[in-house]
Amino acid sequence: MKKGKAGVRYVLRSAAAKVAAGAVGALALIPGLLLRTGAAAVGGLLRLLRLAPRTGTKWGIYFTRWSLHLAKKVHTRLMAKAKKRWEADTRPDVLTDFDEPGHTRPLTTADEFGTDYFGGNLVSVFQTETEAVRDAYATYDPPMMLAVAAEYWGLPEGVTSVAEAVRQLAVNTADKYPADAKMADQVAAVYALLHQAAQKAAEVGPLFAKVHENDLRRFEEPRPGEHMWNILERRQDGGFDQRQPSRFVAVAQDVAHVYSRYEPGHMNQVAAEYEGIPAGIENIGAAISLLQVRSNDRYPVDKAVVDAITDVHQVLMQAASAAQELMPSFRRLHAPDIARHEAPRNGEESEAMWDV
């Protein structure tokens, strides 16, 4: 549906480009004909005087060629814009088209049991906080390349903040929650992959600085009149530097801060956290995927930087895939405990006689 609508718009823009080019060519032809007529008259006079035989005929024809060159130039430019719009219309929207939780993964506990199951009516704090990261980053538009550079350099700190929340869940599972020790090991395995993603992310900033050394030097060590090399006009403030902290770091730090203070009061809240970890990691992956797409399509950066961000995203998706096993393992390892809540014997009040 999306590509079909984009195709229709492309055809309409192509037709409009041809009409506009024809109209411009026709308008340019009128003064061209007048100038060619004048050139022919001057050439005829010079021939009578035997000063320049056929001069008017030889160079007067260029006046009428103006219209052809101008029409071709207009058509080429409009078609380029039409193609660019078509590519923009058919490009996936990272905010809305990325693989959301449940869209590509296997059936989840919610798919199997609905929402009326242990922890099913609760929303993971981790998932909620990472959704805020995804949404905030999707609306961020860096004003210049130094701001983009801040995002590249901030990737490891942002991913580490998210990983810290998962590490805290692993520690609490081992030390505070009445959970099987295998659960702590599985959460720790997810954290290990997130830590690996953070290590990959730490390579992006130095790589960017290396391949764009000359570009960055214009800001860090500007020569007198450096702005004369600018593609567009110099900024109104006359400055060269607009350094600012990474937006990704700013929003991702909240995940670790909130989670460090979170104290679940019941195991159904802990269960919701196990189930929400995959979706939360995917939310972070969506933000990094957006940076990758923009780096590839909009930002003037080397493709090696794009590839490095892609590597970070791939490791994050491995972590999300590993996290898919948390909730199934939790249910399997704690089946008797969960059964007391989902299928209480002789009702909840009777089952509560076993409460500690």
- Amino acid 3: pLDDT: 52
Q: Is the pLDDT of residue 49 over 70?
A: no
Element (H, E) at 25: helix 2-48
CB contact at 8 A, 116 and 175: no
Q: How far apart are CA 288 and CA 205, in angstroms?
A: 14
Percentage with pLDDT > 70 across the chain: 63
- Amino acid 295: pLDDT: 93
- Amino acid 105: pLDDT: 47
Tens digits of residue pLDDT in 181-231: 999 999 999 999 999 999 999 999 999 999 999 988 888 888 888 877 777
- Amino acid 111: pLDDT: 52
CB contact at 8 A, 219 and 146: yes
SS3 category, 247? helix
Looking at residue 240, what DSSP letter applies? S
Q: Which residue has the higher pLDDT, 320 or 5?
A: 320
- Amino acid 23: pLDDT: 67
Average confidence (pLDDT) over 60-76: 61
Closest alpha carbon to 312 in 164, 172, 207? 207
Per-residue pLDDT band for 356 (boundaries 50, 70, 90) equals confident
Q: Which residue has the higher pLDDT, 35 or 2?
A: 35
Alpha carbons within 13 angstroms on the beta-carbon side of residue 180 total 15
- Amino acid 348: pLDDT: 83
Q: Is the dihedral of CA 261, 263, 269, 274 positive or negative?
A: positive
Tens digits of residue pLDDT in 69-102: 666 666 667 666 766 665 555 554 444 454 443 3
- Angle at the Cα of 298 from the Cα atoms of 292 and 304, rounded to 5 degrees: 50
SS3 category, 50? coil
- Amino acid 15: pLDDT: 62
Tens digits of residue pLDDT in 113-149: 555 666 666 788 898 889 988 988 888 888 888 889 9
Amino acid (one-letter) located at 297: D
Q: How far apart are CA 61 and CA 69, in angstroms?
A: 13
Distance of CA 237 to the CA centre of its chain: 30
Q: Is the pLDDT of residue 293 over 60?
A: yes
- Amino acid 84: pLDDT: 60
> What six digits make up the tokens of 275?
């189930």
Phi, psi of 239 (to 5 degrees): -90, 170
Region label for 124, one of left (φ > 0), alpha (ψ between -120 and 50) or beta (otherwise): beta
Q: How far apart are CA 331 and CA 316, in angstroms?
A: 24
